[in-house]
């Protein structure tokens, strides 16, 4: 005689118990898929997380600009196309002045990392170059991949950024040297920026502590500046060197060197990278030679863009921010940066400005009055150095 079915509230039949985990798994999968905006997004996320799990850099290329690609000027479209043409397997995305705040609020607001200090600071900033610097670090912390400025042209595919002798699984960042002129380290103006890594193009994996430490350093610096100036962050005034050291290449370089020291258990300074002849990895951070990202500068033994190791070409047409954050300009002898790190030119500028300082106030005023309108350096001496076209001075 077949046993009767169990009463409600009794045990669950064995057949149902066997299929329960499968049903539950299908239910959760359907629930997850329904929460995604499309199956395409779901697939992209799977691919993204798979790349992280296998130790690969996310196949993403990030740029930031005033407008979206459909509204690009021809020059910007031309450089942007080089990244897509040479890297068809990468996702390409541009954050703009219209969607950047949404991105920051989404990823650092209550539904993201819940960092109201980051959201508040970003929302308060009015200095565009500071926002641009901070945004690239925020994006690279959240998602990783490759960041490159809007005026940078791809000469080689991203896959060429890592030499064959290095294993991508063992790398967390790929950066390059920008300025390697340590002989000027004691110079009043040039000293703070004579040794730096390039941050107009770099690669990293997501959620790197060094990127968050850099972001936190910037927030502390901005608050310190606001306190000293007695103004809210939205009203602070910054010169060229303050931007460079606060959020730009100098800030980036300091954070990277400190991270290398932490990871390697020894102090890592610029001597590790001076006259770098080939790529070097320190603490999972791969440093490429100056020719990789900063060829054609006319200094730092940077070579030219025809070199086999040159990976990008910086056109500098988007580098107009120094007009809002001017460099120090002597009233007679102009900007020492016009020397473009040429030793004799810098030496001459130093001697001329020192001699000027020794003059009486009356003689100083007379020389200033005699200066030709538009002349940037005394007697045109420092301006005799030949510089690449449209070259911004570091």
Given this model, what pLDDT does residue 24 score? 56
Provide the β-strand partners of residue 259: none
Domain ranges of the chain: 57-323, 336-384
What whole-number distance in Å separates Cα of residue 261 and Cα of residue 268?
A: 5
Given this model, what pLDDT does residue 19 score? 56
Residues 6+ apart with CB under 8 A from 272: 260, 280, 282
CATH topology of domain 57-323: Spore Coat Polysaccharide Biosynthesis Protein SpsA; Chain A (3.90.550)
Q: Helix 128-142 to helix 116-124 angle, to the nearest 10 degrees?
A: 150
Given this model, what pLDDT does residue 317 score? 85
Which residues in the chain land under pLDDT 50?
1-12, 16, 26, 28-50, 376-394
Given this model, what pLDDT does residue 290 score? 98
Tell whether pTM > 0.85: no
pLDDT digits (tens, 9 = 90+) for 39-79: 333 333 444 444 555 689 999 999 999 999 999 999 999 99
Q: Left (φ > 0), alpha (ψ -120 to 50) or beta: where does 380 sit? A: left
Residues 6+ apart with CB under 8 A from 154: 82, 83, 85, 86, 87, 148, 311, 312
């Amino acid at each position: 005689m077949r046993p009767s079915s169990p009463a409600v509230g009794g045990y669950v039949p064995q057949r149902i118990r066997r299929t329960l985990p499968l049903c539950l798994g299908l239910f959760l999968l359907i629930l997850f898929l329904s929460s995604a905006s499309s199956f395409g997004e779901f697939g992209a996320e799977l691919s993204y997380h798979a790349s992280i799990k296998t130790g690969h850099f996310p196949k993403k290329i990030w740029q930031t600009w005033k407008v979206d690609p459909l509204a690009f000027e021809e020059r910007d479209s031309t450089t942007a196309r080089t990244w897509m043409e040479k890297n068809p397997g990468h996702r390409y995305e541009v954050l703009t002045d219209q969607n950047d705040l949404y991105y920051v609020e989404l990823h650092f607001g209550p539904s993201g990392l819940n960092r109201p200090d980051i959201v508040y600071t970003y929302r308060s900033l009015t200095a565009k170059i500071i926002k641009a610097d901070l945004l690239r670090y925020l994006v690279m912390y959240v998602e990783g991949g490759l960041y490159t400025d809007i005026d940078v042209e791809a000469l080689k595919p991203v896959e060429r950024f890592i030499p064959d002798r290095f294993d991508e699984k063992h790398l967390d960042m790929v950066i390059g040297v920008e300025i390697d002129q340590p002989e000027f380290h004691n110079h009043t103006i040039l000293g703070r920026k004579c040794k730096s890594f390039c941050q107009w193009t770099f690669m990293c994996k997501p959620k790197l502590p060094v990127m968050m430490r850099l972001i936190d350093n910037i927030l502390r610096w901005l608050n310190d500046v606001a306190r000293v100036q007695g103004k809210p962050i939205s009203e602070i005034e910054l010169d060229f060197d303050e931007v460079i050291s606060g959020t730009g290449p100098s800030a980036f370089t300091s954070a990277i060197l400190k991270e290398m020291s932490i990871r390697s258990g020894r102090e890592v300074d610029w001597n590790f990278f001076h006259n770098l002849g080939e790529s070097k990895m320190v603490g999972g951070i791969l440093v490429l030679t100056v020719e990789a990202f900063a060829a054609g500068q006319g200094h730092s033994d940077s070579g030219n863009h025809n070199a086999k190791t040159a990976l990008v070409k910086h056109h500098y047409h988007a580098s107009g921010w120094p007009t809002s954050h001017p460099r120090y300009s002597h009233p007679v002898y102009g900007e020492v940066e016009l020397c473009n790190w040429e030793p004799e030119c810098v030496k001459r500028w130093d001697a001329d400005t020192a001699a000027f300082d020794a003059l009486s106030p009356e003689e100083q005023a007379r020389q200033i009055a005699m200066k030709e309108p538009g002349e940037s350096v005394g007697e045109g001496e420092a301006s005799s150095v030949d510089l690449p076209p449209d070259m911004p001075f570091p």
